[in-house]
Structure 1
């Protein structure tokens, strides 16, 4: 796959929140990461508005184990609320993804240097990411490192097929779709021999509008080109 990257992400806990459980404050994690959560992890590793990160597949390495905890969420109206959150314990995943240029952003045409973006992305994965990594929510710290997708023993390598029902695939934002609205995508994931192959966002047939939204404007005044970033890293390496 052109401009591909392979990495492993892991942590002590993950909370890929099922939105149906958020209304009452008793958050329950999906059993597997959503496309959007893995895309968010990749964008924490390396993000530019020039690019669209595409998650191709995820391999579940550790057995899916859930653990419930009593949590005291912030209550801005006062009081001392106690909630019950259900997390995934000891999550570990191998991820294969790639990037494409965001052709809806003509304002970022000056930053389309495929080779340098790919090098910067690989460098960022090796460094553990340019920003903090979270597995679903901020309290679930994650860690990223390079890997070879498919290497090692996974907990579900011998499970032919496992269905996870109806769940969120991800969020559509206007700068990626060209539509001035935020939308949510739904799908029905299936894991085969430990691997979930994601359909592309535009292939999702179940799309619901959330709200109207305008894309943020970027240009050379507020976004540094990859050539400039690459040159800075080269100078730092010489020092």
Structure 2
């Protein structure tokens, strides 16, 4: 179903590291071949976000050939030893990355205290303006050292490397995290839940499923919702109108 508040944009950068959170603790890190749902959602949230709504990523188009590059990185040792000692790790990055993204937002039904801020046209227009400006905050492709850049685009325009590739299967991979304030069921209420799914690319395009439609869900821990009240909206451009 097409939503009236769809946004499309292109995000690109020299390097990206879309890894499983389990691999973020330390040691060697290796990127997935494609961006995760959570990473794309984070990119769009850096462009424009408010707790009133939730971004849903609908499609991503892989524009450039999937290539990797290994770099040696000096990291802090996660074991007993001298203070400030370092170790050498090898990180496997994606390089020369470019993606087209289509997404939409829906009201966050867990935020009844923000019901008065549910003005669809306002948020849609602000989001499109922020995409044209390159985002409100810095954009990263998976991790802090991978700077990304956002530009508006028409989804499907231009030539992509995989336009003539019938299908590529990427197996089971990390989809994203459902936090307590984005809970969609009794099982995810007041909990942090990890979602796993099975992405398939067809002619360069991956249709991303919603968090509740993922094949595997794993509860991590109990989590409470941070409340927002009217005092958060007074005199704050972060929660008020964008000038």
TM-score, normalised by the number of residues in structure 1: 0.92
| Residue 107 (structure 1) aligned with residue 117 (structure 2) | no
Summarize the alignment of residues 61-210 of structure 1 with structure 2, pairs less than 5 Å apart: 61-75=63-77, 77-177=83-183, 179-210=189-220
Per mean C-alpha deviation after superposition, the further-off stretch among 37-46 and 18-27 is 18-27
Tell me what 1:211 maps to: 221
Tell me what 2:14 maps to: 12
| RMSD, matched Cα | 1.7
Tell me what 2:55 maps to: 53
Question: Structure 1: which 5+ runs fail to align?
Answer: 234-239
Tell me what 1:237 maps to: none
Is residue 111–residue 225 contact of structure 1 (8 Å, CA) maintained in 2?
Answer: no
Q: Number of matched residues?
A: 231
| Secondary structure of 2:29's aligned partner | coil
Question: Structure 2: which 5+ runs fail to align?
Answer: none
| Secondary structure of 1:122's aligned partner | helix
1:209 & 1:175 partners in 2: Cα distance? 14
Q: Deviations over 1:29-64 (max 9, x none)?
A: 000000000000000000100010000000000000
1:226 & 1:114 partners in 2: Cα distance? 17
| Residue 229 (structure 1) aligned with residue 235 (structure 2) | no
2:47 & 2:23 partners in 1: Cα distance? 29
* Greater percentage in helix: 1
Q: 1:218 to 1:20 in 2, by over 3 A?
A: closer
| Secondary structure of 2:232's aligned partner | coil
Per mean C-alpha deviation after superposition, the further-off stretch among 10-19 and 73-82 is 73-82
Q: 1:208 to 1:70 in 2, by over 3 A?
A: same
